[in-house]
Structures are given as C-alpha cells and as structure tokens.
Structure 1
Amino acid sequence: MQPIQLGRMRIHRVMEMESPTPMVMNLPGVTPQDLARLRQWYDPGDDEIGADAENSRMTFSVHSWVIEVDGQTILVDTCDGNHKDRLVPEVNQLNTDYLGNLRRAGFAPEDIDLVMCTHLHFDHVGWNTRLENGKWVPTFGNARYLFGRRDYEYFKDEPAGEDAHHASFIDSVLPVMEAGKGVIVDENHVAHREIGDGVWLEPAFGHSPGCCTIHGQADAGEAIFWGDVIHHPVQLLRPDLPFAFDADPATASVTRQRVMKRAAEEELLCFPAHFRKTSAGHVRSDGDAYRYEWVVP
C-alpha cells in the first residue's frame, strides 16, 4: 500500500498478518439481512461473507500505522509480535516478517521516535519487545512508548478472565517500563504539539477499560486511528451487538456509535486497526446505519 499524505502528515501501513475467525464466535447476533446489506458495499474478494453468520468469517488484518509528521516518526499499535507464548492458538509463537515489512515501508526500528498503543491487548503491543539472548527487550530502542494509565493499572493487577492480555503485559509492556522507555499517560494526552495541530489521544472506553483513539491533524483534515473501537465493517451496521472481547460491552457499543457518528459528520479520515483491503477510508451515513468507503492511495 502506498502512503497517504494528509497535510504535513504522511501515513504508512505495516502489515503483520491476516487472522480469520468464525463470525459467530465474535458477533453471534448478526443476521442474514445484515450480511446481505453488508455485501452491497463490502466485497473482500473471497468467501469471507456468506449468507448467514454461521457460514461467515471475520478476517482481521493485523497491522500497524506509521505517522511521519514534523520530523517525528510515530508507530501506532504494534500487532502480535514474534516468539511469544499466547493462549490464542492463531498467534502463538508467531514468526512473521513484520520488521521486514517495516523496513520495506522505509523504516528501521531505530527510526521510530514514539510508540503509541490504542490499548493494551495482546495484538496491539506485541512488537513493543523482541527476544534477544533469551530476554525481552524494547524493539524500538530510540523510542518513547506511551501507555494509557487505565489499561496499565488494570492489566498489571492480573485481572480475572484476562489471562491472554496479562501475558502480553508481562512480555511486551513491563520490559519497556523496566528499560526506562515507557511513559504512563492519561487518556487525553497530547503527544505532539497540540490538539488540532499535532497528535493526541481521546478516551474511547469499553473495549478495554482504557481504550483510546489516536488523532492527528496537520494543515489538513483530521485522521483517527480507532484501534479496536470497530473491528470489522459489519459493526457499522450492528454497533449494538457486543463484541466477544469487549470488557464492557454496553460502554463499547455507545463508544462505537459515537465514533461512527463523529467520523461521518466531520469526514474524518479513518485508519482502523483490523479492516482489510487498504483499511483507510471514510465512514458514510447509510439510512439508519453507516457504510465504509475505502481510500485507494
């Protein structure tokens, strides 16, 4: 994918992998009518979307975004990571060419100035660290890493039912803090310059206790990196449905609807964490729901 220029910002996608899961496992309430409506504007180019949820998949693209702005290189969300023990079989002991893809996008690990995570789930923090001589060390040795306070405090206490994410906290967050590279910030933190002319966080609680969206604007329209607020295009039709991994499903649903409404009304350029195709695009109003319009750079 070619980078997207948005004013002073230049935005690149760095792929790790695609991960298919059964739709009924994640959103069992999706109806055949929902899927028929989805197919009017979403064609992934394979058999991902069937006639009903039982015969459909949610195939997640797992990727990072790199923002270049004002001489700063900012990495947003760091995917699953390699060589890590995970309770989810699809991402256990991965050995992907993520760092090769980062280099092909034009960046060595040492080029990254700032790492920002929308939240601290395992598929958003994994490349924070890499294995070196049997020890987890920061992958991006010249970078500061920003971690949201609510998620940090939540996952460090080994919460019940969050074993998969606590494991990634141990191998992908704590080593960064121990190396003196991590900074705990509030969920409305301004990371670069100022709101409206820089890069900043906004609270988007629900999927995780401290889930955030990351926003960027620099002499052009606003970009939103929404992490896991919306995982898959079908949620633009059914934002009311609880997603399997939402910590607080009711709050997550309200957040989804708020983010979609704002994205459509303000014509934000959206950079989802898990949409396939080019991923980037715009949310458009579509009767009583929304649809997604992909950008082709």
Structure 2
Amino acid sequence: MTTTAVPSWTVGDITVHRVDETPLPPATGPWLLPGATPDLVAGQGWLHPDFADPDGTLRLDSHTFAFAVDGLRVLVDTGIGNGKERANPAWHRLDTDYPRTLAAAGFPPESVDLVILTHLHADHVGWNTREVDGSWVPTFPRARYLTSRVEREFWASYDMDEARAQMFRDSVVPVEEAGLLDLVDVPAEGVDVAPGVRLIPTPGHTPGHVAVELTSRGRTALVTGDCVHHPVQLAHPSVGACVDIDPDRAEATRRALLGSLAGTDTLLLGTHFAPPTAGRVVSHDDGYRLSPA
C-alpha cells in the first residue's frame, strides 16, 4: 500500500484507490453484527489493533474504491452522501469532504465513466446524487451507473418503509430519470462489465448483491460490498448482519466466497473494513483470518 493521502493498492496494471468518506461510530458494530459479541471478537487476537478495540468494539468505515482500466474511470459504490435525510443517526445529513477526497485520488466527479453499485442500500448509493437548488441531481453526469437487474427489480416490488423510500427518491430515482442507470443480468459465473472488471453474484445480504472482481496481468482483487462487512466474519462466517434479507443465503455465500479465496493471492478489499482495509484470506483455526496487505 502506498503512503499517500489517498491509500492505494496495485493489482497488475490497475491501481485501486480507497476514497474515504467517514469512520462509522462504535455503536455500529453491535447494531449491524449482533452476533459479534465482545467475547467472540476478543477471541481473535489478530483483529487487534486495526479492526477492533481491546474491549471488543468493532471498527467499521464508509469508503468507496476508484480505479482506471482500459481508459475507463470506475467507482465502486458511492457511500452515504451529504445532506441526506436518514433514519440512522450516523448517516443523517452528513457533511464530509468526500468529493474533495475523490478528486485528490484523481477522480473528480465529472471524470467518472462508470459507477458500479454492489447493491441498493443507503450507505452504498448516497453520492449517486448531490443537491443543486433544492433538487437531487446525478453527481457523476458522464457516468453509466450499473447494478444488477435482480437487485433493482427486487426493490421495485418491495413494501418499503418511509426511510427506504426516501433513499430511493433522493439517490436512485434521479439517476433513473436522467437515463443513467443500467441494469445488468449477472449469471452464476459472473459477467464482465469492462476489461478486467467482473460482477460476481453474492446474494443474501440483498437478492441481487454483487462483488466486484478485478484482474490484470495475472493478479486479482475482489471488492466485497456487503457480503462481508467486517474481518471478524472471516473467523466466524456464521455472524450475519441484522439487515441481511436472507441470512441463510448470506452465510452460504460468505462461506463459499471465503473458501474460494483462502490460500490464494487474491486481494480482498473490504468495503467497510477499517484501515488497513485490504489483505489476503488465509486459513486460521476452524475458519479464516485476514493477512493485511
């Protein structure tokens, strides 16, 4: 990893930048991953000091990933966003320097060609839009926004509460109305959306959730989205998120994914992993651990 203001990793010819939005508050862990009790976390010494505090409090972040490939400037997920009305206090009316950080990484919003949305949850679509003169407009006006067809169609028929409906109104519908959202059919083997960029189906957290695989010069990386929220789930894949739509399927997906990555050179880039954020999956006791890169 480089030591610049915007951390990055090299995957063959691809440089992947972590674009920081905000650390998430300590209360996030017990709410999001209730099975990750302090005792369970404390039993995994390798989580300290980077991914958990000595008292078992999990460290979680909101950030996105940006990279250039084959002349395309790509962003994976768009975080929580600024000024959004949200039921979660940690997400409500944020005011962060995310656009400036994105520009510092070399990706000013007007330069982005492709936005990949792993799924349509509030903390992954927020910077899809920004407020201009009281209206929400696409933040990335030249980009195509991609998500899986299964994902969008699921939410189209879902009985949303007002908080989720508000998120769609301010962060998804404006992109659709601008004609910028493309729905992608993602078969079991995945689908290429750009040279070296592949969407991998990882359902359970949401029905159409995808991870993003990058390949260049024999090197591979995988952006998790929310199929893995925190490294503690490597040691205990049975620990699920309170917002998983299908908890059993989410666990099965997580186990299969981690099993396929263990012992390989694939770089795992955690969408909510606190720094150092990236590493390789190695076998450990009856599960796995993250060996930071």
TM value normalised by structure 1: 0.90
Partner of 1:258: 256
CA distance in 1, matches of 2:143, 2:29: 37
Q: Which amino acid aligns with 2:31?
A: M
2:228–2:270 contact (8 Å) kept in structure 1? yes
- Structure 2, gaps ≥5 residues long: 1-5
Q: Which amino acid aligns with 1:28?
A: P
Pair 8,85 (structure 1): closer, same or farther in 2 beyond 3 Å = same
Partner of 1:27: 33
Structure 1 stretches of 4+ with a deviation exceeding 6 A read none
Q: Does 1:214 align with 2:220?
A: no
Give the superposed CA RMSD: 1.8
Q: Which amino acid aligns with 1:203?
A: P
2:64–2:79 contact (8 Å) kept in structure 1? yes
| Offset, 1:134 | 1.0
1:208–1:248 contact (8 Å) kept in structure 2? yes
Pair 92,7 (structure 1): closer, same or farther in 2 beyond 3 Å = same
Residues 10-62 of structure 1, C-alpha deviation per residue, up to 9 Å, x if partnerless?
11010000112254333333355532332x21223597341xxxxx4333210
| Offset, 1:255 | 0.7
Partner of 1:53: none
CA distance in 2, matches of 1:256, 1:46: 19
Residues 253-295 of structure 1, C-alpha deviation per residue, up to 9 Å, x if partnerless?
0111111111214331111100001211111111211111111
CA distance in 2, matches of 1:141, 1:28: 39
CA distance in 1, matches of 2:8, 2:177: 34
| Offset, 1:182 | 1.1
CA distance in 2, matches of 1:264, 1:164: 38
1:44–1:276 contact (8 Å) kept in structure 2? no
> What is the SS of the residue equivalent to 1:255?
helix
Q: Which amino acid aligns with 1:9?
A: I
| Offset, 1:241 | 2.6
1:155–1:165 contact (8 Å) kept in structure 2? no
Q: Does 1:42 align with 2:84?
A: no
CA distance in 2, matches of 1:163, 1:208: 19
Match of 1:291 among 283, 289, 292: 289
> What is the SS of the residue equivalent to 1:89?
coil
Q: Does 1:15 align with 2:20?
A: yes
Match of 2:198 among 197, 200, 216: 200
Residues 166-186 of structure 1, C-alpha deviation per residue, up to 9 Å, x if partnerless?
332221111111101111111
Partner of 2:68: 68
CA distance in 2, matches of 1:28, 1:278: 23
Pair 184,227 (structure 1): closer, same or farther in 2 beyond 3 Å = same
Q: Which amino acid aligns with 1:11?
A: V
Partner of 1:173: 172
CA distance in 1, matches of 2:151, 2:192: 17
CA distance in 2, matches of 1:49, 1:244: 23
2:67–2:73 contact (8 Å) kept in structure 1? yes
CA distance in 2, matches of 1:2, 1:90: 24
Q: Which amino acid aligns with 2:57?
A: R
Percentage of matched positions with identical amino acids: 39
Residues 106-149 of structure 1, C-alpha deviation per residue, up to 9 Å, x if partnerless?
22111111000111111001001111111111101111110211
> What is the SS of the residue equivalent to 1:222?
strand
Q: Which amino acid aligns with 1:68?
A: A
TM value normalised by structure 2: 0.91
Q: Which amino acid aligns with 1:72?
A: L
CA distance in 1, matches of 2:232, 2:50: 16
Partner of 2:88: 88
> What is the SS of the residue equivalent to 2:79?
coil
> What is the SS of the residue equivalent to 2:197?
strand
Match of 2:227 among 218, 226, 229: 229
Q: Which amino acid aligns with 1:189?
A: V
CA distance in 2, matches of 1:16, 1:60: 12
